[in-house]
Structure 1
Amino acid sequence: MFIWCRDHRLHHRYSDTDGDPHNSKRGFFFCHMGWLMHKKHPYVIELGRRIDMSDLQADWMVMFQKKYYYPLYLLVAILIPTYVPVFFFGEHWWDSMLVCYFLRYVLSLHSTWFVNSIAHLYGTRPYDKNLQPVESWFVSIVTLGEGWHNYHHAFPWDYKAAELSDYINHSATFIKFLENIGLAYDLKTASPEMVLNRIVRTGDGSHYLLDNEMSRAAVTACGPLHPLNPTYKSTLKPPRRQGGR
């Protein structure tokens, strides 16, 4: 949790530059999984030391998870998921391990990594055409709502990570449920007026309500032109390449 939050803060502050741990300007493979196989860029190391983590360092639960990460991982990610089918359904240990740990882990990792790759490369930019992240229906399907990435980078404090909380956005629904039972509070969201102003000022014209003919015609895909096609993207001029910092 601690390490992920640090990298995610770097990703937002230095998005798609050399200070971004999974800089999408370095290509699909790198931002999807290659960044975990490479040495970190010197900017990522340098800027990672400067990023403010004091709020998480003051949270006993986060620091407990950081301190006991490996035993907790062994227990929660491997032993418990593997043991349940063995105990309740009589599965063989090895079969249970293959499905409930290895297969589950591979699927969950690649689904998560789609947010770093597909949701930064193949989609539209209805909220800010100057940002690299895009809106991806496909990624929202496989991640339960985390594919509305252009909005998320335009309004990173919005708990919904999307304009709509009730449209392919189970994450927002769950957070709202936690608020209702008292386990989440002070949820922040962008006002409709703020969102509208951003769409009009910087959007690429592809918003589902405020789109235009030119922007609709600029959407293409490899194969069927359909929002669930992961190659679905706008052919409008992409954001210009930014500097290293």
Structure 2
Amino acid sequence: MKETYEGINHLDEDLKPVPLAKWEIEWRNILSISYMHLITPYAIYLMITQATWQTNLFAYILYVVSLIGVTAGAHRLWSHRSYKAKAPLQIILLIFHSIAHQGSAFHWARDHRVHHKYTDTDADPHNSNRGFFYCHIGWIFLKKNPKAIAKGKCIDISDLMADRLLQLQHKYYYFVAPSLCVLMPTLLPTVWGENVWNAFYINGFRIIFSLHSTLLINSLAHMWGAKPYEKDINPTENMIVSFFATGEGFHNFHHTFPQDYRAAELGGYKLNISRLFIDIMAKIGWAYDLKTVSEEIVEKRVNRTGDGSHPVYGFNEHTDLHIEYSKSQIRQKGT
């Protein structure tokens, strides 16, 4: 596939900011997301005082698998093609992604390619230069920026269009997603004796919490943190984001080397559950052709464009002393 979505041209005159006042409000998203925020305190109360431990555990499991569907599926597999997956794994990832209910994986991958091509310009669906609220959730409350729509038409998505499983989920998304994201998590807990309304409210909290965990990648990981690989872009290394978003907080690395399936260099599996999941799938033969960037290329990039904060090749922020590591120690830190 011709990866036309990698790279950026900030000098494009068409990308100059458009006043937000000219944009249209997406009332459906405002109402649905506001409702889930309103029920959150009551859902937390139910989790603490009434819900069974099985229901709380089930909500956490759904939280993790839904994020894996987004990060290992829509992001690393379909957006970047950083590895290949056999049909059983693709089906699992599409089910997981539907549980997250963040739009079809086709739409998610298409928009993410636009994000990488035009990062932090007005063609980026969630331009972080417009401030934290906008890039975190404000962009969802508005109809898509016309510039993002226009530039999106220039992105190569022929592989996405030709992917039969991806298109199948896209075609039936508004039946599949509500069934897996709302109906199943509400009814299944009644099997172990949970009150159906307890399950409904707790699942609503799970949905909004997983949404915010994903949105932190667009906001927190584009505004605060170190830039050991490329100091002249907004994306950063933010471990808070990795904790909540199953390993997506190594964002300066990811925007520098988007083809790497790990979306990280260091950290191993500690904060990168999505990488662990992909590696397990590789062990059983369902994931293959996993792409990585060599240590030599990473070191050269760090020395050429990094901000000096890399713990292996960089300089200690407080002492300015170079930290020496052997190649074996580098591998232990996450390669």
TM-score range, shorter chain: 0.7 to 0.9
1:173 aligns with 2:276: yes
Moved over 3 A (4+): 215-218
Following the alignment from structure 1 to structure 2, what is the Cα–Cα distance between the partners of residues 216 and 49?
Answer: 46
Alpha-carbon distance between aligned partners in 2 of 1:216 and 1:36, rounded to the nearest angstrom: 39
Give the C-alpha shift of residue 217 in structure 1. 7.7
CA contact (8 A) 1:120 1:134 kept: yes
Q: Is the 8 A contact 1:206 1:216 kept in 2?
A: no
Alignment deviations for residues 155-214 of structure 1 (CA, whole Å, 9 cap, x no partner): 00000000033341111111111111111111100000000000000000011123335x
The residue aligned with 1:210 is 313
Counterpart position of 1:74 = 178
Q: Which moved more, 1:118-127 or 1:77-86?
A: 77-86
> What letter matches 1:158 in structure 2?
D
- What corresponds to 2:299 in structure 1? 196
Alignment CA distance shift 1:143-1:156 (3 Å): same
**Any stretches of 5+ residues in structure 1 without a counterpart?**
219-245
What is the aligned-residue identity percentage?
Answer: 49
Letter in 1 for 2:244: V
**Aligned-residue CA RMSD (Å):** 1.4
Whole-angstrom distance in 2 between the partners of 1:19 and 1:216? 38
2:264 aligned with 1:143, yes or no?
Answer: no
In the other structure, the counterpart of 2:221 is 119
Conserved 8 A contact 1:120-1:133: yes
Deviation for aligned residue 1:154: 0.3
Distance 1:42 1:216 in 2: 45
User: Distance in 2 between the 1:56 and 1:40 partners?
Assistant: 20
1:59-138 paired onto structure 2 within 5 Å: 59-88=163-192, 90-100=193-203, 102-138=204-240
- Per the alignment, residue 27 of structure 2 pairs with none
DSSP-derived class of the 2:226 partner: coil
Q: What is the 5 A alignment of 1:215-226?
A: 215-216=317-318
Unaligned runs of 5+ in 2: 1-104, 321-335
Name the amino acid aligned to 2:126. Answer: H
Measure the CA separation in 2 of the matches of 1:62 and 1:136: 30
The letter for the 2-side match of 1:19 is A
CA distance in structure 1 between the aligned counterparts of 2:108 and 2:175, rounded to whole angstroms: 18
Distance in 1 between residues matched to 2:297 and 2:162, nearest whole Å: 32
Amino acid corresponding to residue 204 of structure 1 in structure 2: D
- SS of the aligned residue for 2:265 comes to coil
Q: Is the 8 A contact 2:302 2:314 kept in 1?
A: no
Which is worse superposed, 75-84 or 3-12?
Answer: 75-84
Letter in 2 for 1:72: V
Q: State the one-letter code of the partner of 1:129.
A: K
In structure 2, what is the equivalent of residue 29 of structure 1?
133
TM-score of the aligned structures, taking structure 1 as reference length: 0.84
Larger helix percent: 2
* 2:144 equivalent in structure 1: 40
